[in-house]
Amino acid sequence: MAFVDNTIEVAADIRTVYDTWTSFEDFPSFMEVVERVDLVPEDSLHWVVVVEDDIVEWDADVVEHIVDQSVSWQALDGRESGKVTFEKTGADSTKLHYQLEYDPKAWKGEPDKTRRWMRKRVDADLKAFKSMIEGGE
């Protein structure tokens, strides 16, 4: 397994940051490779992403959902699990901490290349999320 651990400060109140992040079907607006995320039965997600012209799909369960604090998920096929925590750092400031554990082999690429790609993707997605929330788009 491989890990990504990243934190970003967002200039917005915790409720806005939390509500926007947990609107899973809106992930394509800030996650470049995500084509769509469908809500299936409650607390289940169907992901469709495009990686190097290949469509990759999987299902995940939201295993923890604590309003204004955290959300955790687990892919049913074991490809990944993760957690995002939210911490109020001011009236209009929130720290978002993103942790992802994933199996590079599940992404069908060379493991070292996949690790580099995943780190870059998470970093870019968090920056795009921050820009979207802060009105920079």
Give the start-to-end residue ranges of the domains of the chain.
2-133
3-state secondary structure 6-70: EEEEECCCHHHHHHHHCCHHHHHHCCCCEEEEEECCCCEEEEEEEECCEEEEEEEEEEEEECCCE
Cβ atoms 84, 70 nearer than 8 A? yes
Q: Residue 108 has what pLDDT?
A: 76
Q: Residue 107 has what pLDDT?
A: 83
Give the C-alpha separation, 119 to 15, whole Å: 26
Q: Which amino acid is at 78?
A: G
Q: Residue 58 has what pLDDT?
A: 96
Give the C-alpha separation, 64 to 57, whole Å: 22
Per-10-residue mean pLDDT, the chain, length 137 = 96 97 96 95 91 91 96 96 97 97 87 93 97 83
Q: Residue 24 has what pLDDT?
A: 95
Q: Which CATH architecture has domain 2-133?
A: 2-Layer Sandwich (3.30)
Give the C-alpha separation, 29 to 32, whole Å: 8
Output the six-digit token pair for 66: 């604590």
